Chains A and B, each alone.
Chain A
Amino acid sequence: MAVSAGTIQHGATEHSESGLWSWLTTVDHKRIGILYCVSALVFFLVGGIEALLIRIQLAQPNGTFLDQDSYNRIFTMHGTTMIFLVIMPLSTGFINLLLPLMIGARDVAFPRLNAFSYWAFLFGGIFLNASFFTGGNIFEGELGAPDGGWFGYAPLTLNQYSPGDGINYWMLGLQILGIATMAGGFNFIVTTLNMRAPGMSLLRMPLFVWMALVTSFLMIFAMPIIAVALFQLTFDRIFDANFFNPAAGASPLLWQHMFWLFGHPEVYILILPAFGIVSEVLPVFSRKPLFGYPFVVFSGVAIGFMSWGVWAHHMYTVGLGSIANSAFGISTILIAVPTGVKIFNWMGTMWGGSISFKTPVMFCLGFITMFTIGGLTGVTHSMVPSDYQQQDTYYIVAHFHQVLFGGALFGLFAGVYYWFPKFTGRMLSETWGQVHFWLMFIGFNLTFQPMMILGLMGMPRRISSYPEDYGWDLWNMIATLGAFTIALGILVFLINFIMSIRNGEESGPDPWDGRTLEWSIPSPPPHYNFAKIPVVHSIDEFWHRKYVEDSKGIPVPVPKGAAIATGDHGDGHEEDEGHDIHMPAPSYMPLIAAAGLPIVAIGLLYAYPLIAVGAIVGLVGLYGWVLEPVGGD
């Protein structure tokens, strides 16, 4: 296997260690995945609190809870956090946890690059959030966070319109996060293309792996574009360049084109992993194979390609002309087709299945219903004339929360409930899971369906207050109550999560009667994953090891012992296995290399000599990395 390419260390003892140092130096994809998920959950609380502040401010007309300036900063950070620090890293966390297990590999292709991705992400996230305290004068009660919206439209974000350091933190923070994302994307693609277990052809890969692959390609092609846009903004803001300066003849639309050429693939980066999770969970709990596997695969690939041709639907009202608007309108309508195909496939999977409505399934059902509403509202503003009415109203806010919260986040929560036992060895409480789901589902609808109505009534987005007598009071109050209902649901989830890690019911290796390879090994998996690399014969390999079909096509369990001779079955695992498996040694070099990035960013903001310090720290990390006696990555 390729993972053995450069591994000389005797890993068996190294990885059983615990303690802070072992987490700082880990290169184990499962631990990195856990770090990603836990960090994303922490940022989720931060972004959620920002959402609640927004809703408190807007609960009643003429709100005075926040002043306009703070409001702008908080909604900017809410959007930026939820997209770059919650949904993306949570998806990346799942890919880290699951990709090697699902393809029968012992780790990702480049374990240390993987650790570098995580640390760069963490430093980028901390840097971005530090702006609250260091970007302005906090002692005079002034928040320093960026205030340009998550899309940061230049020229609005140039110095003359957005003075202060907030936008600087935003552009440099996103740059660091982009580097983390690209490194992750490269790693996942190489892992998927190169490290599949024998017999696992591309069309035998679990759907989640497919969606991770498409997502990774979008990452490596979309992030360079935003990187360039952010560099241009950086040169404008820090070195007085003219990329977005209309006075010098620059186009005020350049940023929008660059940003949305990145930004639209980005929304599929956010949603495709959730598509993958739902496609894994539904077959298991319907006790049926995924309906139309190749259609789900290729519609995901089609979405990946088409996502590059729809960006200007964010820009219908900027005056591109009717031909451009029509072309992008048509491409936007077309991209709904492969998305719709998937929804029908999920329904087909459940159709006639013996569905058990456990928490993961409930979140999948929430996902399908909410995402469908989100998708259909998306089709309404793919229509250019209709979009002219909806542009910059709460209808848009409702739409993208419907797809990103009702869609991506519900899907990710399904994944949390589904895979929690695999990585902790314990079950999350089913009862509290159901409570969490219903609170979140009801709260979600109370929050965002009123926004649809508000938007159609003409309430603009990004306003910090609104007058009485516009008829908006009731719906805004309901939306705020809904937001707190969601918060209550998240609180239930957190308590359940923390309690279950210690006291949850023991899950065993395969609590859900799973279909894919990760369920064939113990929970939590040993650091080397597979004592023996599995040989794959079909889609849903693990299911076919457990069941054969009788003459009527009904699955019958394989008699115990018959299929276990392969030795990699979870039940057959013994504690002393795996001592002769060489795994990559831990390394602190990725951490050092990543630490160079925020130092360079701080140097750009405050003292240029620090740029050199950061570059040296980064180079020391990189050289140490290359010269470490592991090779291979």
Chain B
Amino acid sequence: MAMHAPAGESHALDTNTGLDNRKLLMWLFLASECLFFGSFIAAFLLYRDRNVVGPYPEDLYDIPFTSVSSFVLLMSSLTMVLALAAIQRGNLQAMRVWLIATALLGISFLSGQAFEFTEFWNEGLSLDQNLFGTTFFVLTGFHGAHVSVGVLILLSLVDASWRGKLTTDHSLAVELAGLYWHFVDIVWIVIFTLIYLIQPA
């Protein structure tokens, strides 16, 4: 349940649960996304020790580099919260700044991922090379696609507010984008921990 009861969203209280329809929809969507990422992560873990040819994860991972890009993504959750706080205070200008900052951090993360993919590719890892290539590229690729969609949503919100379509009455839109953004971040924490940090014995 949300901590805030932002002004202009009073109709949310007309529902049986007191939760706005759209927010409930977002929570359900994220719940089903857990199964989506869970299935890909499970496939990765199942196959981690079954590669018959290299390159292997321990040959390729650059943990310091990925740690930095993970940190960048985590910081984007902070700016996302600040964007929501800004619109709830009625400060659209600050909201735009923080939304753009969030999008830029997201783009930095994606650039890091593109760099990492290129490095791995140059080392001989591809979709068809081995199970690691298959499971790694598809899992992190789908995560990257989710971040990209998130960036698109953030920039659409900024654009809408520039054109006056997103006003202080629409803090819910920013809140929903935030829920999605935080979820994608959390998924990355799981991926970074299980896929990168915990290495087979």
Contact = CB atoms under 8 A, between A and B. Distances in A.
Contacts, number: 119
Given A241-B134, A243-B134, A223 B32 contact: yes
A249 B20 CA distance: 48
Query: Which of B11, B31, B32, B133 has the most C-beta atoms of chain A within 10 angstroms of its own C-beta?
Result: B32
B35 A241 contact: no
A633 B17 CA distance: 17
B28 A1 contact: no
B16 A235 contact: no
Given A254-B43, A258-B39, A220 B24 contact: no
A536 to B, nearest CB: 12
Main secondary structure of the interface of B (DSSP, over half): helix
Contacts of B194: none
Interface of B: 11, 14-17, 19-22, 24-25, 28-29, 31-33, 35-36, 39-40, 43, 46-47, 50-53, 127-128, 130-131, 133-135, 138, 142, 156, 165
Contact of B131 (A2, A249, A633): A249
Contacts of A250: 47, 50, 131
A633 B22 contact: yes
Given A248-B52, A258-B39, A627-B165, A239 B128 contact: yes
B15 A241 contact: no
Given A182-B32, A223-B32, A2 B43 contact: no
Contacts of B165: 627
B16 A251 contact: no
A248 B40 contact: no
A194 B15 contact: yes
Contacts of B127: 235, 239-242
A630 to B, nearest CB: 13
Contacts of B51: 248-249
Nearest to A258: B39
A242 B138 CA distance: 11
A190 B48 CA distance: 39
12 contacts: A2-B14, A185-B32, A196-B16, A220-B32, A221-B32, A228-B36, A232-B138, A242-B128, A242-B131, A242-B134, A251-B46, A251-B50
Given A2-B14, A190-B25, A231-B138, 12 more contacts: A5-B14, A185-B32, A193-B17, A193-B24, A220-B32, A221-B32, A225-B35, A239-B128, A243-B135, A248-B52, A248-B134, A249-B52
* Most A Cβ at <10 Å: residue of B16, B17, B22, B53: B16
A190 B135 contact: no
Interface string A90-131: 000000000000000000011000000000000000000000
A241 B128 contact: yes
A5 B24 CA distance: 14
Interface string A247-284: 11111001000100000000000000000000000000
A477 interface: no
Contact of B28 (A2, A190, A227): A190
A195 B15 contact: yes
Contacts of A185: 28, 32
A171 to B, nearest CB: 15
A186 interface: yes
Given A224-B35, A235-B134, A109 B25 contact: yes
Contacts of B35: 221, 224-225
Interface residues of A, number: 43
A35 interface: no
A229 B16 contact: no
A109 B28 contact: no
A512 to B, nearest CB: 28
Among A194, A254, A627, chain B packs the most CB atoms within 10 A around the CB of A194
Contacts of B43: 228, 232, 243, 254, 258
Nearest to B32: A220
A181 B135 CA distance: 26
Nearest to B21: A109
Contacts of B53: 248
Contacts of A231: 138, 142
A592 interface: no
Contacts of B130: 242, 248-249
A223 B35 CA distance: 9
Contacts of B16: 193-196
A221 B11 CA distance: 29
B131 A248 contact: yes
Contact of B29 (A186, A225, A254): A186
A135 B105 CA distance: 44
A248 B54 CA distance: 11
A223 B20 CA distance: 25
B21 A190 contact: yes
A189 interface: yes
Nearest to A220: B32
A396 B64 CA distance: 54
Contacts of A228: 36, 39-40, 43
A224 B33 contact: yes
A251 B45 CA distance: 12
Given A186-B29, A241-B134, A194 B128 contact: no
Nearest to B127: A241
Contacts of A254: 43, 46
Contact of A235 (B22, B50, B138): B138
Contacts of A258: 39, 43
A532 B165 CA distance: 33
Given A186-B29, A239-B128, A110 B46 contact: no
Nearest to A623: B156
A224 B124 CA distance: 31
A208 B140 CA distance: 41
Contact of A224 (B17, B22, B32, B135): B32
Nearest to A2: B15
A623 B163 CA distance: 15
Contacts of B17: 193-194
